């Protein structure tokens, strides 16, 4: 119960941070659109386009966080936690589309450079960089490993990178008149966003495909469970992640008839659950305790 309450409280804090960042990002989006039009800057326009996707992504992240708080139902037995992961996956896809657009637009401008006003570009990019920096600090202070929040953080970090590069490009254009600095900055933004997009896409896919958490040593977990007094073997072991920060484990555990007679199922389950929770950080564990004679009635699965 304490774990669930802590997770809910953490989500409430994350939502408050997301709402604040949404307000800041929406304001900066308007500023950069005006700046892109006034200065004729591709870098500012690209960053504004990225911020527009950020506004949509933040709205989606907030919505997913609210949906994830809905209680479990007769058919949605795990609740709606995966809504956050779907939002993170969509955020990653949006980032990849932005990367592709920046690459295309940047190459086009390199081949056919357009005049850019360096001074206004510096002003508008500086305001955007400051706002993005504040937003990033707000999100990072959460300390949460929530994938949904990570998706929003990656978006805001990409905003900061884009604004700083636009600022630097504006300084170069202002001082030297080298207009190609603008599309070069756009291409650099695409290169820097891409790894984070792929990382978020990979982590979301790991959860949705129910792959075992990378920091959970299944071989060691099986060994420790087998060391519990009375346990003969552990099989059909599965591990997955319901959503960020909620790893889960299930396993069939064969126990001697003597141990079952002496202690009962309850005491053995307590030991197994304590092992998973205290030694491996898995509070959501399900164990099927089986007597020795049950072996002939069961098809043994593979370890996952």
CATH of the domain at 229: 3.30.300.30
Taking the C-alpha atoms of residue 260 and residue 243, their distance in angstroms, rounded to an integer, is 34
In this predicted model, which residue has the larger pLDDT, 278 or 91?
278
Confidence of residue 5 (pLDDT cuts 50, 70, 90): very low
Q: Which of 129-133, 194-198, 243-247 has the lowest mean pLDDT?
A: 243-247
In this predicted model, which residue has the larger pLDDT, 41 or 288?
288
pLDDT in tens, 244-287: 678 899 999 999 989 888 888 999 999 999 999 988 988 889 99
Answer yes or no: pTM beyond 0.85.
no
Q: Do 202 and 252 fall into the same domain?
A: no
Q: Do 158 and 270 fall into the same domain?
A: no
Q: Do 196 and 262 fall into the same domain?
A: no
What are the C-alpha distances in Å from 13 to residues 6, 10, 63, 80, 138?
11, 5, 14, 18, 11
**What's 291's DSSP letter?**
E
- Judged against a pLDDT cut of 50, whether residue 113 lies above it is answered with yes
Q: Is residue 304 part of a domain?
A: no
Predicted pLDDT of residue 3: 45
Domain boundary among 158, 179, 208: 208
Taking the C-alpha atoms of residue 149 and residue 20, their distance in angstroms, rounded to an integer, is 13
Domain boundary among 161, 186, 208: 208
What are the C-alpha distances in Å from 177 to residues 114, 173, 237?
11, 4, 64
Q: Do 171 and 230 fall into the same domain?
A: no
Q: Do 35 and 57 fall into the same domain?
A: yes
Q: Is residue 183 part of a domain?
A: yes
Q: Do 202 and 56 fall into the same domain?
A: yes
Q: Do 189 and 286 fall into the same domain?
A: no
Give the mean pLDDT of the chain.
Answer: 81
**Count of domains observed in the chain:** 2
**What's 189's DSSP letter?**
H
Q: Is 115 exposed, middle or buried (0-12, 13-18, 19+ CB in 10 A)?
A: exposed
Residue 169 sits in a domain whose CATH number is 1.20.1510.10
Q: Is residue 49 part of a domain?
A: yes
Domain boundary among 208, 242, 274: 208
Taking the C-alpha atoms of residue 148 and residue 153, their distance in angstroms, rounded to an integer, is 9
Q: Do 194 and 66 fall into the same domain?
A: yes
Closest by CA to 69, choosing from 13, 142, 143, is 13
Q: Do 91 and 224 fall into the same domain?
A: no
243 beta partners: 246
Sign of CA dihedral 69, 13, 91, 22: positive
Taking the C-alpha atoms of residue 36 and residue 45, their distance in angstroms, rounded to an integer, is 5
Q: Is residue 213 part of a domain?
A: no
Q: Do 134 and 262 fall into the same domain?
A: no
How many other C-beta atoms lie within 10 A of the C-beta of residue 233? Answer: 14
Taking the C-alpha atoms of residue 156 and residue 140, their distance in angstroms, rounded to an integer, is 10
Q: Do 249 and 183 fall into the same domain?
A: no
Torsion of CA 287, 291, 295, 300, to 10 degrees: 10
Q: Do 131 and 259 fall into the same domain?
A: no
Q: Is residue 302 part of a domain?
A: no
Domain that includes residue 191, residue range: 2-208
Q: Are 232 and 254 in contact (CB under 8 A)?
A: yes
Q: Is residue 204 part of a domain?
A: yes
Q: Is residue 269 part of a domain?
A: yes
HSE-CB at 119 with a 13 A cutoff on CA atoms is: 0
Taking the C-alpha atoms of residue 135 and residue 17, their distance in angstroms, rounded to an integer, is 9
**What's 229's DSSP letter?**
T
């Amino acid at each position: 119960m304490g774990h669930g309450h802590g997770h809910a409280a953490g989500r409430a804090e994350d939502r408050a941070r997301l709402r604040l960042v949404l307000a800041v990002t929406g304001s900066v989006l308007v500023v950069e659109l005006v700046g892109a039009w006034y200065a004729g800057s591709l870098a500012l326009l690209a960053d504004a386009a990225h911020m527009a996707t950020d506004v949509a992504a933040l709205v989606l992240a907030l919505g997913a966080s609210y949906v994830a708080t809905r209680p479990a139902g007769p058919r949605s037995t795990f609740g709606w936690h995966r809504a956050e992961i779907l939002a993170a996956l969509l955020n990653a896809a949006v980032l990849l589309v932005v990367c592709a657009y920046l690459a295309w637009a940047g190459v086009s401008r390199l081949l056919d450079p357009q005049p850019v006003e360096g001074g206004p570009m510096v002003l508008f990019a500086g305001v955007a960089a400051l706002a993005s920096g504040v937003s990033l600090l707000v999100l990072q202070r959460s300390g949460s490993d929530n994938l949904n929040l990570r998706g929003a953080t990656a978006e805001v970090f990409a905003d900061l990178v884009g604004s700083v590069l636009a600022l630097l490009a504006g300084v170069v254009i202002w001082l030297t008149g080298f207009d190609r600095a603008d599309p070069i900055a756009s291409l650099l933004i695409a290169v820097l966003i891409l790894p984070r997009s792929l990382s978020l896409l990979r982590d979301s896919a790991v959860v949705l495909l129910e792959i075992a958490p990378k920091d959970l040593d299944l071989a060691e977990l099986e060994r420790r469970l087998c060391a519990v007094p009375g346990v003969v073997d552990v099989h059909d072991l599965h591990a997955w992640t319901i959503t960020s920060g909620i790893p889960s484990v299930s396993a069939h555990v064969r126990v001697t008839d003597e141990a079952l007679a002496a202690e009962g199922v309850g005491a053995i389950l307590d030991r197994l659950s304590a092992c998973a929770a205290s030694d491996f950080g898995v509070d959501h564990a399900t164990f099927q305790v089986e007597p020795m004679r049950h072996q002939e009635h069961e098809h043994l699965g593979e370890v996952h």
